[in-house]
A and B are shown apart, each in its own frame.
Chain A
Amino acid sequence: MTAVKHAYDTFIHETGGWVASQLEACTRCGMCAEACHFYQATGNPEYAPVWKVELLRRAYEQRFTLVGGFKKMIGIEKEITDEDLSHWSELNYHACTVCNKCSMVCPMGIDLGSLLHGVRAGLAAADAVPADLMAAVNKQVKEGSPLGMTDSVWDQRLEWVADEWEVDIPRDVKGADTMVVFSSIEVMKFPTNVAAIAKVLNKAGEKWTVSSKAREIVNFGFYQGSEENTKLFLTRVLEGAKELGVKRIVVTECGHAYDALRWHGANWLPEANDFEIIHITGVLGELIGSGRIKIKPGAFDGNGTITFHDACKIQRKGGHIQEPRDILNVLAPNSFKEMTPNREESVCCGGGGGVIAVKAADEPRYAAFQLKIDQVNTVGAKTVAMTCSNCRLQFTDGVDHFKLDWKVAGLAQMVADALVE
């Protein structure tokens, strides 16, 4: 019963008035299910967000409310069991990307994303996290990166990127204004993104650097739901920034890492407020808007329709909704078309929240991706642009799995390719 006790303790620790008042507001209308891409794709009622937060609700009501205590006493409500933990582990880590679309349709406005994160916290405390996700977390604890980007791999990769694309990547420069922290997904799988961002910042004359200490922005502790690990990985980034004395931290094309650092960081680690924290999408918007870099209008016109995929953590939860549109309207004024729904109401890619790292989640993940396929096919797009490497990983995998003929493009890369020399 120790796992169950850890889960209860964490659920209770997570449940301040902020969480409790939202749990109390739920009318059990089931509307959230209709917003969930996993429910839409599979029809499995257990994928309803309200059901995914069931354990958190049970823990709260049993421990904090008279009615919950009474229901437990007469047996309508059961204590959480080990079986419950493993069952809800599947519901939450296999079929939820914590994309928060559900909160957009809740008639009460409940911020379900935060509650779902609370459920993960309890499951993480009870060691009820899928083994492959946990392996990645442990790898990040030990090696500094879930994708095996150790000190020496980091050195080699950066040297190779700098050589291959003939681009200067300033490293560990004390007194730089901006520290850029890449995700290992980019460094290891989409290296052109690293070169592209370097090219853009150099062109803008930005005093920037990367840090060997703060070399990984990915935060698998945040996927896991463990406060301890999340803080550990955030601390590495903040310490790197402090060491170099930078003013701002730029998070590259990684969604959940941006969510963790920008929107939660200071609540865990107040020193996060010593820095301005911004996503690369915001930086691109700024540089183009102020004329510090110029991009060639229409550079991407003429190769079929281009659409933009909104990432849950960068657009819906991050607020960088307008910049990509402004940029694409310059790059491809004639061929940029929106999917429906879009912007803050967009459909999630299905691979976020660590889902893509869990092999057993392949089935719901591919099912959810089919909603995205329908959306892209409806606008007839040949290229899908996006600002999140995790989405991009899901898209490239999906394109491969379903044998689609789309191009998947990172926005930073497109900007770099269209720079006016």
Chain B
Amino acid sequence: MNPQAMLEFARGPFFYAALLFMIFGLAYRVFTVVALGWSKDRVPNKGSKASGVVKTYLKALLIWPFIPWVKNTFDRNPLIYIGGGLFHLSLFVVVILGTPHMLVWKSLSGLSWATLPLPIVDWTAAVGIIAMIMLLINRRINPVLRLISGPAEYLSWLFVFLPMVTGYMMTHHLWLPYENLYALHMLSVDVMMIWIPLSRISHFVFYFFARTIHGAEFGKRGVAV
């Protein structure tokens, strides 16, 4: 298959198939979890569950990612806070505020928005790639992370790293012809989308369950989240 045909396939039928697989896969996972049933909490509250939930989201989305050193565990493993934080920041900036990606969202949803200038997005992408490498090294060095990491954890790392690095190479026309890089980038994105519902990358969905439960549990006891 020549690069042009490969690209057409990777951004055409394969892309849509992977996207659908991801969406339905995640929906299936959420459905099976919810279907396990939720027992009713009959214990009377001391504080307010709702206020606990609101507070925990505010802290987790607006405070901790940006000033992680307020957590007293920060000093014990700063790499994971900094690496994890920068990776996610890079991800959001590149995937949402990068012009080419915004155009993909636009073609899918019809919505468009202002994007950041390329140099900013580009530097953020580089930071994200470096953060990913830091996180991998940390995963190999830290005894707890070594213990809890199996093939799935390393595959997750790889399937996220490939789209990042091929995207970066594409922007800078590194080593291979542009079309080949574009095809590789799209292929790696497709593989990642297929992998997401099969792996713990899906935490971005279940995060909302855990965070809500956390807020409710602490809130009902009248304890700061």
Contacts and interface: CB of A to CB of B under 8 A. Distances in A.
Interface string A316-329: 11110100000000
Interface in A304-346: 315-319, 321, 340-341, 343-345
Interface in B85-101: none
Interface in B65-107: 71-73, 76-77, 80, 84
Interface residues of B, number: 57
B44 A29 contact: no
Contacts of A25: 203, 206-207, 209-210
Nearest to A276: B44
B3 interface: no
Contacts of A67: 198-199
A160 interface: no
B36 A27 contact: no
Given A27-B203, A263-B43, A264-B43, A45 B143 contact: yes
B221 A51 contact: no
Contact of A263 (B198, B202, B221): B221
A405 B63 CA distance: 41
Interface in A1-47: 15-18, 20-22, 24-31, 33-35, 39-40, 43, 45-46
Interface string A339-376: 01101110000000000000000000000000000000
Interface stretch (B114-122, B125-133, B147-155, B162-170): B147-155
B35 A343 contact: no
A267 B39 CA distance: 9
A108 B200 CA distance: 12
B203 A26 contact: yes
Contacts of B46: 319
A262 B46 CA distance: 10
B56 interface: yes
B146 interface: yes
Contacts of A21: 33-34, 206, 209-210, 213
A39 B209 CA distance: 27
Interface string B41-53: 1111011000000
For the residues of B in contact with A, the DSSP-based class is: helix
Interface in B7-43: 29, 32-39, 41-43
B160 to A, nearest CB: 12
For the residues of A in contact with B, the DSSP-based class is: helix
A111 interface: yes
Given A22-B213, A29-B84, A110-B214, A317 B223 contact: yes
A343 B221 CA distance: 13
A64 interface: yes
A340 B72 CA distance: 9
Nearest to A110: B210
Interface string A60-94: 00001101000100001000000000000000000
Given A64-B36, A109-B210, A51 B150 contact: no
B137 interface: no
Contact of B77 (A26, A31, A264): A31
Interface in B183-223: 198-200, 202-203, 206-207, 209-211, 213-215, 217-218, 221-223
A105 interface: yes
B224 A33 contact: no
A262 B222 CA distance: 13
A105 B221 contact: no
9 contacts: A21-B34, A24-B33, A25-B207, A35-B73, A48-B144, A105-B73, A263-B43, A265-B43, A340-B72
Interface of B: 29, 32-39, 41-44, 46-47, 56, 60, 64, 71-73, 76-77, 80, 84, 142-153, 198-200, 202-203, 206-207, 209-211, 213-215, 217-218, 221-225
Sorted nearest first, the 4 A-B pairs with minimum C-beta distance are A109-B214, A21-B209, A25-B206, A25-B210
Interface of A: 15-18, 20-22, 24-31, 33-35, 39-40, 43, 45-46, 48, 50-51, 64-65, 67, 71, 76, 103, 105-111, 114, 262-267, 270, 273, 315-319, 321, 340-341, 343-345
